[in-house]
Amino acid sequence: MIEKADQIFVLLGHWLVSFLPVWLQPAAMVLLGVLAIIVTFPALFAITVLLERKGLGRMQNRYGPNRVGPFGIFQPVADGIKSLTKEDIVPTSADGVVHFLAPVFLVVVVFMGYAVLPMGRNMTLVSMDAGLLFFFAIGASTELSVFMAGWSSRNKYSLLGAMRAVAQMISYEVPLLLSSLTIVMMTGSLSLGKIVEAQNQYTWGLPHWYIFTPWGFAGFLLYAVATTAESNRSPFDLPEGESELVAGYFTEYSGFKFALFFLGEYVGMMSISGLGTTLFLGGWSAPLQILGWVPSWCWFFGKVMMSMCVFIWMRGTLPRLRQDQLMNFAWKFVLPLTLVNLMVAATWRFLGAGWERWVICSAILILVYTLMGRSGMRRGHIGPRSYRYAE
Amino acid sequence: MLGEGILKGLGETARNFVGSYVSAERLTTIQYPEERIAPIEATRDFPFLVYDGADWEAGLRCVACQICEKECPPKCIYIVKSTDKKPDALGKLQIYPVRFDIDISVCMSCQICVEVCPFEAIKMDTQFELSTTDRFGGLLYDRKELAKSNEYYHSIHPIEAKKVDAHLAEEKMKADAKAGAAAAAAAAKAAAAPVVAKPAVPATPAAAPAGATQRAEGEKQG
């Protein structure tokens, strides 16, 4: 019974496919998986947008949307209808083809990332040996779509937004990769399935998730910073900073194309949260051994939605950075820390089992973090804003 | 230490998030169509014309002097003077507005018409739910739509209306005094008319009220 609940989607797929001739079955199974992904994540996107609007409202002591349906739960439906029925405006001087392709490309690329994510036991669309590599390769091409949008719009705000986005995404791509590299060092595999399997073990009923090690914890925080910047979320939302750039690279988009950008952004956030979950939070494994009976996909989606809530919480809290602060933070703080973290992970590996490695690795990380934070704040690279003229 | 401020900030938003569910007084939102708050005393939206008594047409304080029409910055007031005269609230014969239109789609609620009116005839209303499906005719208010009673004025701006009433009562007293003095002077003149030898003696009391009236009028204009 428990087994059945865990494998319900896999069994359902097999049952549906069994009506087809044998030679068609593998292709149909893949198509079914793609369809499931394309249906599930936009639905989660709608839920996330509602959560975000309600949550941000509550953080600012407002109600948030509460008019459409009971407690405003049908707000995403109303938003969807609105964006579908709006006029689609393409500027006369825009490059029509590229302008059209940019949002489509973004959405396609963002959905491709899900192909390798293990969303539950046996629930990976393509279990690739180099899954992590594939994910990062696909993830990096969202920059192209952003730049296509900014360039083809022929608008100064769009172009500035796109330039900012590309600069920011390329800068934070490096710490993103380096912080995930520790996991590869430990697991010895680029396969996301194997990474989850390695974490799906328990000692005294507690899981072997990588976040519960000093290097894993540091790596997770660095990964979280880098993903926030990668997905252009507050406080790193400079590419679409409303106050200075209207809407950044999608200023010239309206109607359904705008909705596609919006969808791409959130689905991208979810996919990168899914990767973070897989790498550091044990993927689909249960947080306690006694909770092993809960279906594995529940844990995966629960963890992804939890990370989305953290994204929303951060957006409700932090003001936007300035471009130089953003770059300083990436190159002078996050990048050196990820390099140190790589060293710490190596130290952890070669110290072998025992309590010594816990003390040594934690001490190194805390020391480096404190020292770098202090010197960075003293020299003004990071830390609170200072204004030369408007004090 | 680096990151301390971020943690503090996250704590603050979390407190707000939970607090907004626990204590209702944190939420400042008024859910407008269902809930309302009483407008404050100084609220002003668009002008209306005050009338005294029961009949709006007879009681209109406006004497069509057109000062407001001239002073209106966006020129949203349109007045047509009457050719005949009608007794106003004080019983004096006055010109009255045949047409008094305000286009509230043009009006910018600056209250200048209220400031310049020497007759306390135009005041600011607190009505703001004026949306209509006809954006030209529906937002052009004629004098019937603009006329509101003095009692209504008291209900929306009680403090201001009391002052205005006191001022008008004072004016009326002065006007009565002036009329009384003028009548007395006329009577005295009539009495003195046969005595041709002493014209200077009754002229002195008549001159004093005349000066007082001028001062009163000066105050009124100011």
Q: Which of A53-57, A87-91, B25-29 has the highest mean pLDDT?
A: A53-57
Query: How near does any CA of chain A get to the CA of B26, in Å?
Result: 6
Residues of chain B found within 8 Å of residue A376, distances taken between Cβ atoms? 2
Give chain B's domain count. Answer: 1
Give the per-residue pLDDT at A391: 54
Which of A53, A56, A61 is the best substitution to test chain B (most B C-beta atoms within 10 A)? Answer: A61
Q: Which of A292-296, B8-12, B193-197 has the highest mean pLDDT?
A: B8-12
Query: Judged by CB atoms within 8 Å, which residues 20-79 of B form the interface with A?
Result: 20-21, 26-29, 31
The three-class DSSP label of residue B209 is helix
B105 lies in a domain? Answer: yes
Q: What is the pLDDT of residue A227?
A: 92
The lowest-confidence range among A101-110, A162-171, A199-208, A373-382 is A373-382
**Would you state the pLDDT for residue B73?**
92
Whether the pLDDT of residue A351 is over 60: the answer is: yes
B222: confidence class by pLDDT, cuts 50, 70, 90? very low
How much of chain A exceeds pLDDT 70, in percent? 98
Across the interface, of B1, B20, B31, the residue whose CB is closest to A373 is B1
Answer yes or no: is B199 within a domain: no
Are residues A246 and A354 in contact, defined by beta-carbon separation less than 8 angstroms?
no
Q: What is the pLDDT of residue A275?
A: 92
What is the spatial distance between Cα B9 and Cα B110, in angstroms, rounded to a whole number? 42
Beta carbons of A61 and B20 less than 8 Å apart: yes
B198 vs A21: CA distance, rounded Å: 135
The answer to whether residue B196 is domain-embedded is no
Domain of residue B123, residue span: 44-149
Q: Quick check: is B115 in a domain?
A: yes
What CA–CA distance (Å, rounded) separates A44 from A60?
24
- Whether B201 is in a domain gets the answer no
Asked if residue B209 has pLDDT above 70, the reply is no
Where helices occur in B23-47 by DSSP H, the ranges are none
- Decide: helix, strand or coil at residue B79: strand
Segment A11-45, tens digit of pLDDT: 888 888 888 888 888 888 888 889 989 999 999 99
Residue B202 lies in a domain: no
Nearest-5° Cα angle at A235, A230 to A236: 35
Interface contact B9-A317, CB threshold 8 A: yes
For every residue of A326-360, DSSP letters joined together read: HHHIIIIIIHHHHHHHHHHHHHHHHH-SSSHHHHH
Mean pLDDT of B14-36: 87
The alpha carbons of chain B give a radius of gyration, in whole angstroms, of 27
The whole-number pLDDT of residue B116 equals: 92
Q: What per-residue confidence (pLDDT) applies to A45?
A: 92
Tokens standing for residue B139: 């937002």
pLDDT value of residue A221: 92
B54-89 pLDDT, tens per residue? 888 888 888 888 899 999 999 999 999 888 888 776
Neighboring chain B residues of A218 at a CB cutoff of 8 Å: none
pLDDT in tens, B81-117: 888 888 776 677 888 889 999 998 999 999 999 999 8
The shortest CB-CB distance from B10 to any of A61, A313, A374 is to A313
| pLDDT band at A313; cut points 50, 70, 90 | very high
- What count of CB pairs under 8 Å joins A to B? 50
Residue B109, in any domain of the structure: yes
**pLDDT interval class at B211 (50, 70, 90):** very low
For range A184-205, the mean pLDDT: 87
Match 């509550």 to its residue by tokens: A58
User: CA of B39, closest CA in chain A: separation in Å?
Assistant: 22
Does residue B84 lie within any of the structural domains?
yes
pLDDT bucket at A324, cuts 50 / 70 / 90:
confident
Distances from the Cα of B187 to the Cα of A208, A343, B134, B178, B190, angstroms: 115, 116, 60, 14, 5
- Is A318's CB within 8 Å of B9's CB? yes
**pLDDT tens readout for residues A209-248:** 888 888 889 999 999 999 999 888 888 888 777 777 777 8
Q: Count of H helices and E strands in chain B? A: 8, 8
Q: What is the pLDDT of residues B169-204, one digit of tens each?
A: 888 888 888 888 888 888 888 877 665 555 454 444
Q: In angstroms, rounded to a whole number, what is the distance separating the alpha carbons of residues B179 and B158?
A: 31
Convert B181-193 into a string of H (helix), E (strand) and C (coil).
HHHHHHHHHHHHC
Beta bridge partners of B50: B148
**Given pLDDT bands bounded at 50, 70 and 90, which one contains residue A390?**
low
For residues A29 and A22, what is the distance between their CA atoms, to the nearest angstrom?
11
- Give the model confidence (pLDDT) of B115-163 as tens digits: 998 888 899 988 888 888 988 888 999 888 888 888 898 888 888 888 8
When pLDDT is averaged across residues A136-156 and rounded to a whole number, the result is 88
- Judged by a CB distance cut-off of 8 A, whether residue B1 touches chain A is yes
When pLDDT is cut at 50, 70 and 90, the band that residue A1 belongs to is: confident
Measured between CB atoms, which of A55, A377, A384 is closest to B17?
A: A55
Which residue of B16, B17, B29 is in closest CB contact with A63? B29
- What's residue A235's pLDDT? 85
CATH code, B93? 3.30.70.3270
